[in-house]
Structure 1
Amino acid sequence: MRIVGEWINKFKKLLCALGEANETEKMIPIKGAHISGVSYRNIGDVGREFLYDVVSEGLKVRVHTTCNPGYTKEGEEDLQDRIYHNFIMLGCEESFTCTPYYLNRKIKCGDVLSWAESSAVVYANSVLGVRTNRESGITALASAILGYTPLYGLLRSEERRPWVRIKIKWRDIDEKKAGLLGYYIGEKIGRVPFIEGILLTEEEFKYLGAAIATASDISIVHVKGLTKEHKWASKYEMHTIEMKGEELREVEEKLSQTEGGEAVILGCPHLSFNELREIAEATSQIRRVKKRALLFTSRAVYSTALSMGYIEKLRRKGFEIYTDSCVMCKYVEELEEVYTNSVKAAFYLYNRMGIRSCLKSTREIIQEVLLG
């Protein structure tokens, strides 16, 4: 027990240092945690051995905890599986996904969490109305084990307010345009926005939030008619910017670097059940898709889609479906050009793997690429 106490003290010191850096000594209990940095490509042997040491001393998480997916190159599968196993031994849920908000959990508006994974943090703060800062993998792990986090940042109401009102002057929106808008706001505006003038679905917001987090450290977005705190947020005095759509062309030219692709990649962030169902229904009348198509989702969503027959339908059409995996993985490393609906995927596939993307909406990809 002496060594266990040493580990606990190390994690306490870590969170105290985090609080001190943000000018607070107060800690607040959390209802859940989500840990990033679980990929062998990120943490390497040092991180893997650290995690093994923590597990070996019998530590367990105190709150419901989920983890990000990993990504590996050929020959690293065993090392990644050991990392997954150690997180499960800590008591984390056996589902590795960047969309923990799709898992069956009792999260309520106002609950305090300690989540890493930038895209999930934006979604959680905005759509669910929970309160979480953008944690690192290690601080989220510490909070999961201790059951609390420092009270600062987006856990305080005054830090959640918007600073700029963005009036959208076009009506049509899809996953690609939502992502381009998010990236533009993050890169060019860089402050918490209040967006009005468009009707976003929760799936479309997922792509906006993932892109804004890719381009900036913004971790909450208010959208009129969609996000939990939009009525409260709308009352603040803000600088107003009107956007007519031309602003997105520069972002698209930067990130959409090719006019074609060898394969289709969908699922960054991981696909929802609704998205899997819509893809299955949209391709129901063809024998097989015309292009290699890879879909990435969580175990929980996969299980639901499997029970309702959609996974079998998709596989019969030629779709490859992966769980517990990021899109940056061994399944795509030989590709040079791909189609995707995700601005985040386009950014990281190129900057981490040198893969160029052709950005299109899901509907465009299905109609123009997969159906031919």
Structure 2
Amino acid sequence: MSEVSLNGRCLVSGSAQGELLYADMALSFWGGVEPFTGEVIDRHHPLSGQIITGRVLAIPSGRGSCTGSSVLLELILNGHAPAALVFERVEDILTLGVLIAEQMFGHSIPVISLGEAGFAALRKVKFARVEDARVTGFDNPPTALAAARSPRAPHRVSTQITLTEMDQGFLDGAYGKAAQVAMGIILRMAELQGATELLDITQAHIDGCIYTGPASLRFARQLVDWDAKVRVPTTLNSISVDKRRWRELGVDPALGEPASQLGNAYLDMGARVSFTCAPYLLDSAPELGEQIVWAESNAVVYANSVIGARTLKYPDYLDICIALTGRAPKIGCHLTQQRLATLRIDIPELGTLDDSFYPLLGYHVGLLCGADIPVVCGLEHKAPTLDDLKAFGAAFATTSAAPMFHMAGVTPEATTAELALGGHAPARTLNISAADLLSSWRELNSAQSPEVDAVTLGNPHFSYSECATLARLCHGLRKLDSVAMVVTCGRATLERAQQAGYVTTLENFGVQFVTDTCWCMLGEPVIPPTARNLMTNSGKYAHYAPGLVGRRVHFANLAECVESACTGLASARLPVWLQAAEHAEGLTHV
């Protein structure tokens, strides 16, 4: 094709060129890109196995985990980053990683958004050059870029953002270096997002305490050296190890020591010892309408959707910046009008459902949504539990870029579908069939043999009620010694379950409990080195595990997980509500 020249919106200025790596599916960098090699490890993504290092990466946006900003910072500082990022739309999580690298460490790559038509025009381009707000595509490698520019002047805060006297004080350094830098980063993001003012928040949940590599620890230590202190109550997400027991669990000190040090750095800033990816299970959970700043994708979706609190899907590092100032951009899901659904999704009547339905549905709905907020209709009389909604939201957050969902007749801002849509007609209406769900079931069930070597539960962290349900299923039984069974949960949940006697029942069955960390961070030896196939009831972990730990997965409901722990085999039974779809499929092939 001939040369293509496109104008877009410059998100981070700069010049770069290279072979174009294009995909029309959004990509989570956490669990999707290996931070030390630049390989795409999301085994469900069309770019799986590709190396992004030194190439111009064109994707519609990020998706999934808020930790993508941290992974991108690692890639930039260790020399494995793409040459440039080209997005279809303005993208917060990955762009923030570049801004942190630029502002705190003096390294950067150009970032640009092109809009739908411009992005699509790159589909057949082989090489690309990015120069600030312009992308040029070529059939053959372009000539070298002009000599590197002199260093840019420091970015100036937009005068379009109204600052209070305190905001200006933060920016001027009146409250210390850490708060000054934090406010500068907040305002750069507010400018990109189109905010014109900031708002006060009541609490924060920090996801940046996950150890992705030396850069994540370097960032936190720099803030501690600047005497950073949080200004609002702040909880911490799961870290990368069980902080109290990582040595006992056999974790390599090369991971255990820096991961623990990273947790300590955030504690030094005044955060609470919580270490859970399910902060909505804590006694500090927010209330309906409360303005908060949470990172961790499943927590964000749960807070917005199930509780009705108000937060954006905050990237790692922006979360602590806001905690240090108590101020956040007044934009997105902080505002009522931007919480409305624009997409309606109708679910068929499927009869009696089990607990595997909700994570599977969340996974599939997320694939359909992109960044659009959906209202899911058809479950008004199914009475999903809070655990069901937790599982749905976590899987939804894995495959979508949206910060929330509505479920008609279930979630607090969707007593009706019309209310969730704000009285407007949906921009799109989609119908999900049982056959669609069967396809996603097969996508999550990546194991190719029936053996089960480890059962992995608690992604997100197990709740007290899940511990009770599991104890009922395991009562009086004993798993095979050859099958590991591990539950991850928060410290507070474990203490309650111990007091209720559930932990004793589960340990008699053979369950091992791990706190402080979660399956998105766990590897060997908690996962036995000889294990080939894992089993889980988590749609989120069924998606991430093949890339993160290189194992195949059986996905099923909790009762099936217990049965497989006792037999060492997955039954491969479909849930009743999916069996009709398989039968219909068989008839079409006769």
TM-score (norm 1): 0.93
- Cα distance change, pair 312–187 in 1 and its aligned pair in 2 (3 A): same
Q: Name the residue aligned to 1:11.
A: 182
Relative CO higher for 1 or 2, CA cutoff 8 Å, sep ≥ 6? 1
- Equivalent-residue separation in structure 2 for 1:175 and 1:82 (angstroms): 37
Q: Is the 8 A contact 2:279 2:285 kept in 1?
A: no
Q: Which of 453, 457, 461 lines up with 1:262 in the alignment?
A: 453
- Cα distance change, pair 4–260 in 1 and its aligned pair in 2 (3 A): farther
Q: Name the residue aligned to 1:211.
A: 395
- Equivalent-residue separation in structure 2 for 1:30 and 1:283 (angstroms): 43
Q: Name the residue aligned to 1:285.
A: 476
Whether 2:432 is the aligned partner of 1:237: answer no
1:74-113 to 2 correspondence within 5 Å? 74-75=252-253, 76-105=255-284, 107-113=286-292
Q: Name the residue aligned to 1:273.
A: 464
Question: Matched residues, percent identical?
Answer: 29
Q: Which of 332, 348, 365 lines up with 2:527 in the alignment?
A: 332
> What RMSD, in angstroms, separates the aligned Cα atoms of the two structures?
2.1
- Equivalent-residue separation in structure 1 for 2:556 and 2:485 (angstroms): 14
1:11: how far off? 0.5
- Equivalent-residue separation in structure 1 for 2:420 and 2:325 (angstroms): 32
- Cα distance change, pair 289–63 in 1 and its aligned pair in 2 (3 A): farther
- Cα distance change, pair 117–350 in 1 and its aligned pair in 2 (3 A): same
1:45: how far off? 1.9
Q: Is the 8 A contact 2:479 2:565 kept in 1?
A: no
Q: Which of 123, 131, 146 lines up with 2:325 in the alignment?
A: 146
* 1:325 match: secondary structure: coil
1:67-216 to 2 correspondence within 5 Å? 67-71=236-240, 74-75=252-253, 76-105=255-284, 107-169=286-348, 170-190=350-370, 191-198=372-379, 199=382, 200-216=384-400
Once the two structures are superposed, residues 327-351 of structure 1 have per-residue CA deviations (whole angstroms, 9 ceiling, x without a partner) of: 1313126232101011110111111
Q: Is the 8 A contact 1:4 1:58 kept in 2?
A: no
Whether 2:560 is the aligned partner of 1:364: answer yes
* 2:176 match: secondary structure: helix
Whether 2:405 is the aligned partner of 1:221: answer yes
- Cα distance change, pair 229–336 in 1 and its aligned pair in 2 (3 A): same
- Equivalent-residue separation in structure 2 for 1:13 and 1:351 (angstroms): 35
User: In structure 2, what residue type is equivalent to 1:237?
Assistant: A
* 1:230 match: secondary structure: coil
**Larger Cα Rg: Structure 1 or Structure 2?**
2
1:291-310 to 2 correspondence within 5 Å? 291-310=483-502
Once the two structures are superposed, residues 64-108 of structure 1 have per-residue CA deviations (whole angstroms, 9 ceiling, x without a partner) of: 111221225522212211111111121111021110000111521
Q: Which of 415, 435, 459 lines up with 1:246 in the alignment?
A: 435
User: In structure 2, what residue type is equivalent to 1:193?
Assistant: P
- Cα distance change, pair 287–257 in 1 and its aligned pair in 2 (3 A): closer
1:313: how far off? 2.0
Unaligned stretches of 5+ residues in structure 1: none
- Equivalent-residue separation in structure 2 for 1:339 and 1:352 (angstroms): 15
User: In structure 1, what residue type is equivalent to 2:326?
Assistant: G
User: In structure 1, what residue type is equivalent to 2:509?
Assistant: K
Q: Name the residue aligned to 1:351.
A: 547
Q: More deviation in 334-343 or 54-63?
A: 54-63
1:6: how far off? 2.2
User: In structure 1, what residue type is equivalent to 2:218?
Assistant: E
Q: More deviation in 271-280 or 58-67?
A: 58-67
Q: Is the 8 A contact 1:166 1:194 kept in 2?
A: yes
The list of structure 1 runs, each at least 4 consecutive aligned residues, that deviate by more than 6 angstroms after superposition, is none
Q: Is the 8 A contact 1:286 1:371 kept in 2?
A: no
Once the two structures are superposed, residues 145-186 of structure 1 have per-residue CA deviations (whole angstroms, 9 ceiling, x without a partner) of: 101100011111111111222221123333432122112112
- Equivalent-residue separation in structure 2 for 1:287 and 1:236 (angstroms): 54
* 2:512 match: secondary structure: strand
User: In structure 1, what residue type is equivalent to 2:214?
Assistant: D
1:23: how far off? 1.2
* 2:376 match: secondary structure: strand
Once the two structures are superposed, residues 306-333 of structure 1 have per-residue CA deviations (whole angstroms, 9 ceiling, x without a partner) of: 1222112211221000000121313126
1:288: how far off? 4.6
1:371: how far off? 6.9
* 1:246 match: secondary structure: helix
Q: Name the residue aligned to 2:573.
A: none
- Equivalent-residue separation in structure 1 for 2:353 and 2:252 (angstroms): 38
1:368: how far off? 4.5
Q: Is the 8 A contact 1:162 1:236 kept in 2?
A: no
Q: Is the 8 A contact 2:366 2:396 kept in 1?
A: yes
User: In structure 2, what residue type is equivalent to 1:249?
Assistant: L
Q: Is the 8 A contact 1:179 1:210 kept in 2?
A: yes
* 1:101 match: secondary structure: helix
- Cα distance change, pair 46–92 in 1 and its aligned pair in 2 (3 A): same
- Equivalent-residue separation in structure 1 for 2:290 and 2:439 (angstroms): 38
- Cα distance change, pair 217–189 in 1 and its aligned pair in 2 (3 A): closer
User: In structure 2, what residue type is equivalent to 1:113?
Assistant: I
* 2:497 match: secondary structure: helix
* 1:247 match: secondary structure: helix
User: In structure 2, what residue type is equivalent to 1:343?
Assistant: G
Q: More deviation in 288-297 or 254-263?
A: 288-297
Q: Name the residue aligned to 1:321.
A: 513
Q: More deviation in 261-270 or 186-195?
A: 186-195
